[in-house]
Amino acid sequence: MLRVENLHVRRGGKDVLSGVDLQLLPGQVLGVLGPNGAGKSSLLGAMSGELAAHQGRVSLDGQELAQWQGTLRAQRLAVLPQASSLDFAFRVEEVVGLGRLPHQSGRVRDAQIVSAALEAADVMHLSGRSYLALSGGERQRVHLARVLAQLWPGQSGHNLLLDEPTSALDPLHQHITLQAVREFADRGAAVLIILHDLNLAARYCDRVLLLEGGRPHSLGTPAEVLRSEPLQAVFGLEVLVQQHPERGHPLIIAR
């Protein structure tokens, strides 16, 4: 289990996160929401080991994250950053295959997993194409397939951290992406996903963490957190919250 205890992070001499306590639960998707500058990406950076904690602790199965050997950690923890740069003309399936580097499962099994991950991210039709020839949204989905392949097929003990994986996607592929993430969690993986769309969070997340100024404002189910009062307090936006007529989750409408 990936756990954060009393986390404080400083960047450029400024506190960007303070007093965060959090754990990712197997089989659940945790959505992290908040305005720009709330500390969402800093939280993901600390939980992935990219940012050092000024105070507090990030642990995986009770062991400090920094103490995990790199390959073993990569077999348990996969991270999709907000921007993934790659300047080589790799074929799409080769990019996705990079996710298999921490494993020694053999070429045949790796090829099967890459194919399954391409299918899950709806980029199978891009196989054989140069990564550099893709649109921004296509590249984003290819990198999603890469991190899915890294932990495929997803199970208890696996942790997936995603920073705005839908930011460059059209509405259809936003849902395809989050359905793939949801299915990954349903197989036992623990998922943290940073989102800006409140309604996507309401539909696909089991729990929601609302950050404000680097501090947790509220943590709970979408029905507990995505209410008009906390959303106005954190985002400064007046909203009407209703129940989705078919699915029952909160439906947020700007007033």
SS3 159: strand
SS3 44: helix
- Report the distance separating Cα 142 and Cα 254, nearest Å: 33
SS3 233: helix
User: What is the distance of C-alpha 114 from the center of its chain?
Assistant: 20
The pLDDT of residue 83: 80
Report pLDDT digits (tens) over 199-216: 999 999 999 999 999 999
User: What is the distance of C-alpha 242 from the center of its chain?
Assistant: 26
Beta strands per DSSP E along the chain: 2-11, 14-23, 29-33, 55-60, 63-64, 77-80, 159-163, 190-194, 207-212, 215-220, 239-243, 250-254
Report pLDDT digits (tens) over 34-60: 999 999 999 999 999 999 999 999 999
The pLDDT of residue 85: 76
Q: Domain residues for 70?
A: 2-254
CATH number of the domain where residue 19 is located: 3.40.50.300
The pLDDT of residue 55: 93
**Of 48, 79, 51, residue with least CA distance to 65:** 48
- For 182-186, which contacts have Cβ atoms below 8 Å and span 24 or more sequence positions? 182/29, 183/120, 183/154, 184/120, 184/148, 184/151, 184/153, 184/154, 184/160, 185/27, 185/28, 185/29, 185/154, 186/27
**Residue whose tokens read 């939980």:** 47
Provide the β-strand partners of residue 33. 210
Task: Give me 104's structure tokens.
Answer: 């020694």
- Report the distance separating Cα 55 and Cα 42, nearest Å: 14
46 contacts 96 by C-beta, under 8 angstroms: no
- What's the domain count of the chain? 1
The pLDDT of residue 234: 96
Residues of the chain where predicted confidence (pLDDT) is lower than 70: none
